[in-house]
Structure 1
Amino acid sequence: MAETELERAEKRYAQAKARLQALKNREATRQRKLDTRRKVILGGALMDLAERDTSAAAMLDRLIRNLSREQDRKAFAEWDTPSHSPSPDTGQSDAT
C-alpha cells in the first residue's frame, strides 16, 4: 500500500517534532551543566574568601546553618568553617 501525501507529511511532521524535542532536551542539559558549573565555581570562591575574610566566613557559616534540607546539612557535618587567619602582610610596618 502506497503512502499518501498526507501520510508522508504527517511522518515528516512527527520526525521534525522529535528533532525539535531532542534539541530542546540538549539545550536544557547544557543549561543545567552550566548552572552547576557556576555554582561550583562560586562555592569554591566563597570558601576561598572565607579563609581570608571574617565576614565571608561568618556568611558561609550562616549559609550552612540555614540549609533547609537535612541531607545538605549532613554534607557539612564534619567540615569546619574556615577560621580567619590574617595575611602575613597586614599593611602595618614595624619601622617607626
Structure 2
Amino acid sequence: MPAPTPEAIEKAKKRVAQAQARLQDLNARAAAIGRKEDTRRKIILGGLLLDAAEKDQRFEGVLSELMKRIARDQDRKVFDGWALSREKA
C-alpha cells in the first residue's frame, strides 16, 4: 500500500469535518423537534386540566394546589387577576 499523500490526507480531513457538521445539524434538528413535542404535550395537558377543573371540583382543587407551587415571580405574574371560569355541568 503506497504512503498517503498530503492531498489525500486533507481530502479525508475535509470529509470528516463535513460529516461532523452534518451530524451536529441532525442532532440540533432532533433536539428542536423534541422541544416542540414537549411544549405541545404541556399545552395539551394544561388544556385538559383547565377543562377538567372547570367541570369537576376535584380537579379545581388540584389546579389550585398546583398554582400554589408556582415558584418564579414571572410565572406567577401571568396569573395575576386570572380566575378559572366554572362551567355548570
TM-score between the two structures when normalised by the length of structure 2:
0.88
- SS state of the match for residue 74, structure 2? helix
Residues 49 and 57, structure 1, Cα contact 8 Å, conserved in 2: yes
Query: What are the within-5 Å matches in structure 2 for residues 9-48 of structure 1?
Result: 9-48=12-51
Gaps of 5+ in 1: 88-96
RMSD across aligned positions (CA) = 1.3
Query: Displacement of 1:86 after TM fit?
Result: 4.5
Residue matched to 2:79: 76
Gaps of 5+ in 2: 1-5
Moved more, 38-47 or 56-65: 56-65
Residue matched to 1:55: 58
- SS state of the match for residue 51, structure 1? helix
Aligned residues: 84
**CA distance change for structure 1 residues 82 and 66 in 2, over 3 Å: closer, same or farther?**
farther
TM-score between the two structures when normalised by the length of structure 1:
0.82
Identity %: 46
Structure number with higher helix proportion = 2
